[in-house]
């Protein structure tokens, strides 16, 4: 095939139920590299796509633990090592006084880990994505629902996958160029 490489095949649906059903059937047919696009979040879609995210919770937990350690270390370093100062007749190393900043930095780092980790794991920011090569895809932010099966899927075969998508009852099936 000459010209630009194929990224995948995209099917357009008119309502979320059809998209969820098509996604479920595509998963059942054994496709693994696929994604669904919708103007608003659809809870059942996550389940249909069989997305199990184990990474982000671990990233957030790691961020929280790191934040706690950093907060405590900051308190310790400033009041015990760098500028020892007696406050209220307490020992330099007074754990109760350190708890509040430690708690705050735990939350702060965990929150940053959640936001940045989510962006990173999603590969954002992403200035280019092939799905936008399809002129109809702009409707994904309005009133249409899309299912895209990528060419790198091991079970992908242009004609067979095209026939498979057509059977799911979409409005239209189209090629998406790389």
Q: Which of 3, 30, 41, 89 binds another protein (CB under 8 A)?
A: 89
Helix (H, G, I), strand (E, B) or coil at 34: strand
Cα–Cα distance between 71 and 108 in angstroms, integer?
10
Q: Which of 28, 43, 143, 159 binds another protein (CB under 8 A)?
A: 43
Stretch that binds another protein, among 24-32, 73-81, 93-101, 109-117 (CB under 8 A): 93-101
| Element housing 14 (H / E) | none
Q: Which of 97, 115, 119, 138 binds another protein (CB under 8 A)?
A: 97
CB of 96 to another protein, least distance (A): 5
User: Is 52 an interacting residue with respect to another protein (CB under 8 A)?
Assistant: no
CB of 54 to another protein, least distance (A): 10
Cα–Cα distance between 164 and 29 in angstroms, integer?
9
User: Is 121 an interacting residue with respect to another protein (CB under 8 A)?
Assistant: no
Cα–Cα distance between 8 and 26 in angstroms, integer?
14
Q: Which of 29, 100, 119, 163 binds another protein (CB under 8 A)?
A: 100
Q: Which of 6, 25, 42, 47 binds another protein (CB under 8 A)?
A: 47
Show the tokens assigned to 144. Answer: 């249409």
User: Is 91 an interacting residue with respect to another protein (CB under 8 A)?
Assistant: no
Closest to 176 measured CA to CA, from 161, 168, 167, 125? 161
Cα–Cα distance between 88 and 42 in angstroms, integer?
56
User: Is 61 an interacting residue with respect to another protein (CB under 8 A)?
Assistant: yes
Closest to 38 measured CA to CA, from 61, 71, 14, 56? 14
First to last CA, the chain: 13
User: Is 96 an interacting residue with respect to another protein (CB under 8 A)?
Assistant: yes
User: Is 81 an interacting residue with respect to another protein (CB under 8 A)?
Assistant: no
- Binding site residues, another protein, CB under 8 A: 43-44, 47, 57, 61, 88-90, 96-97, 99-100
């Amino acid at each position: 095939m000459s010209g630009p490489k194929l990224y995948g095949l995209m099917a357009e649906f008119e309502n979320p139920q059809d998209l969820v059903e098509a996604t479920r059937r595509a998963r059942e047919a054994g496709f693994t590299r696929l994604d669904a696009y919708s103007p608003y979040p659809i809870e059942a879609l996550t389940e249909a796509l069989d997305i199990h995210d184990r990474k982000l919770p671990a990233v957030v937990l790691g961020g929280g633990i790191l934040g706690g350690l950093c907060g405590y270390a900051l308190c310790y370093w400033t009041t015990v090592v760098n500028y020892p100062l007696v406050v209220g007749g307490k020992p330099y190393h007074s754990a109760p006084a350190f708890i509040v900043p430690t708690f705050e930095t735990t939350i702060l780092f965990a929150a940053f880990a959640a936001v940045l980790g989510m962006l990173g794991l999603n590969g954002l920011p992403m200035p280019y994505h092939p799905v936008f090569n399809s002129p109809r895809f702009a409707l994904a932010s309005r009133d249409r629902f899309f299912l895209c099966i990528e060419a790198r899927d091991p079970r992908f075969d242009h004609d067979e996958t095209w026939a498979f998508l057509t059977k799911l009852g979409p409005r239209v099936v189209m090629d998406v160029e790389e």
